[in-house]
Structure 1
């Protein structure tokens, strides 16, 4: 997923450099040259492939996170799983129905895939956020609000990161602009690719840091216990026999 996003950013930068340097005097300007290269340029096609694959992998990763949170309540995963399957199906059917088309050929190609993909993501975000809120409330009832018993999801920021709300907001904005064929889509699509990677990376980074903290606390507790046992044995051996 991160590889596809990185490749897209590199290819996009190459196209922009070519447009504003080599083809800066193209009739209509650099933007006209970029638009003309949509259907025939290899780099442009590779960009579209990287975008679509990164979307599928990002939604799949968030769906996997939802499965990890709902280990005992799998029925709630029916809607996100159905929407994810539908988004991949819409993409496949659209490509087969319009040979040689790309994301910008017409409204009939891109809209079903992006809408279903965004609905899938929004359902996953809602499911994860709901689960984390319930978990936080249950933890507060059991251990209270003391800092000594702070839970990993005690703050709202942690819930926002885990549920990738940032990605959901940009997805909705992108869908609206895409349907309206607004020029702002060009700006949002680049930001959306970065946000998609950032949202997934923050989840992985948070999970890794939490695992490291848990291992560190476990090692610390083990060392403390070993130290106490060692001192107890020393005191016992040094104490005078009756």
Structure 2
């Protein structure tokens, strides 16, 4: 039976804040385990699939994921140590762990976590903007410049506000840091949500056009639900929305999301890189490498196919050995394909 005298002399709100903080730290470690697993998988696959043709890209991705994982490790280490100090080493500070966070928010251990969080966030945001450019690369130059301009400006604004947050951590009041932190979070998360919507929209349009021209069985690799969620980093955007709402209204639940949101963003990027390594991610030539045929998607598949070239014509005639009803026949089909969608 629990004894009420064992409970700390704190208000229910303060206890709820501490519970959210501690649970967030535990969830952060769980998410870091997922991050570690994906890092090892990506690193191994990038090395395994490296060839002279793709060596430059794979080496760049290896360096990138190594830097991101190192920053994530420092963040988890700093966050775990700061939580340990608040709940174990200095538990008797007046006001409890919540007061410890307010009084020692500029502690070097906490600063390591905050700085690595910001730098990692910049790199992850940059990666997502790069993926956005790759997916929209075949759009006309005029439109791509307009589409890229806003995300790039938002990225620069995110980096700028992040630098302000870092400089204010050790020189300003907690209130000032919280205010600028909200601006930073809103800018970074807004960037991710915008890019997520644009990427998902592009993939959905591609899915519709592929399904219309070639049939639904040709749309799975790039535009099934899982592919769209991964390629657009929707997992992070959904989680980030929950975080910014709770953080913006001052709910202690925001502390829970705050400690996990960086790992979720890293996991989203590693999932994209894993698809890149397996050759399933959208690449520079995806939109032109798969032809769009004029054959109706409702046509019955014809197999096997033999090709006959008419010397007096540039049309290649495909002759099937089965008709639409499965019988033997000499059905001749003229198929025309476009190289672009």
TM-score relative to the length of structure 1 = 0.77
- Which residue matches 1:216? none
1:138 match: 209
The question of whether the paired residues in 2 share the 8 Å contact of 1:107 and 1:179 is answered with no
Partner of 2:294 in structure 1? none
Residue matched to 1:69 = 135
- The question of 1:153 aligning with 2:222 is answered yes
1:27 pairs with 2:94: yes
Q: What TM-score do the two structures reach when normalised by structure 2?
A: 0.56
Matches of 2:77 and 2:168 in 1, distance apart?
30
Distance 1:207 1:38 in 2: 39
1:101-128 alpha-carbon deviations (Å, 9 max, x no partner): 3886444311222212122111110111
Mean Cα displacement is larger for which, 24-33 or 196-205?
A: 24-33
CA 1:83–1:103 in 2, change beyond 3 Å: closer, same or farther? farther
Q: Alpha-carbon deviation of 1:203?
A: 1.0
- Residues 48, 102 of structure 1: 8 Å contact kept: no
Query: 3-state DSSP class of the match of 1:152?
Result: helix
Q: 1:94 to 1:196 in 2, by over 3 A?
A: closer
Number of residue pairs matched by the alignment: 209
- Other-structure match for 1:176: 245
Larger radius of gyration: 2
State the distance in 2 between where 1:89 and 1:18 align.
31
* Aligned partners of 1:48 and 1:103 also within 8 Å: no
> More strand per residue: 1 or 2?
2
Report the equivalent of 2:156: 85
Structure 1 residues 91 and 25 mapped into 2: Cα distance closer, same or farther (>3 Å)?
Answer: closer
Using the alignment, how far apart are the partners of 1:54 and 1:138 within structure 2?
Answer: 36
For residues 196-219 of structure 1, give each alpha carbon's deviation from its aligned partner in whole angstroms, at most 9, with x where no partner exists.
11111111112212359xxxxxxx
Q: What residue in structure 2 maps to residue 54 of structure 1? A: 120
* Runs of 5+ unmatched residues, structure 1: 213-242
**Deviation, structure 1 residue 18:** 2.6
For residues 211 and 177 of structure 1, do their structure 2 counterparts lie closer, same or farther at Cα, with a shift above 3 Å needed? closer
Contact preservation (8 Å) 1:102, 1:109: no
Q: Among residues 239, 253, 258, which one is paired with 1:189 in the alignment?
A: 258
2:194 to 123, 133, 152: 123
CA deviation after TM superposition for structure 1 residue 24, in Å: 2.5
**CA RMSD after TM alignment:** 2.4
> Aligned-pair distance for 1:176?
2.1
Gaps (5+ residues) in structure 2? 1-67, 282-341
Q: Deviations over 1:119-156 (max 9, x none)?
A: 2111110111011111222222232123xx45412411
Correspondence 1:166 to 2:235: yes
Could you say which structure has the higher helix fraction? 1
Deviates more, 1:22-31 or 1:78-87: 22-31
Give the alignment partner of residue 17 of structure 1, picking from 84, 87, 91.
84
Task: Report the Cα distance in structure 2 between the residues aligned to 1:19 and 1:182, rounded to whole angstroms.
Answer: 20
C-alpha contact 1:59 1:121 (8 A) present in aligned 2: yes
Structure number with greater CO (CA < 8 Å, separation at least 6) is 2
Contact in 1 for aligned 2:154/2:188 (Cα 8 Å): yes
How far apart, in 1, do the equivalents of 2:269 and 2:173 lie? 26
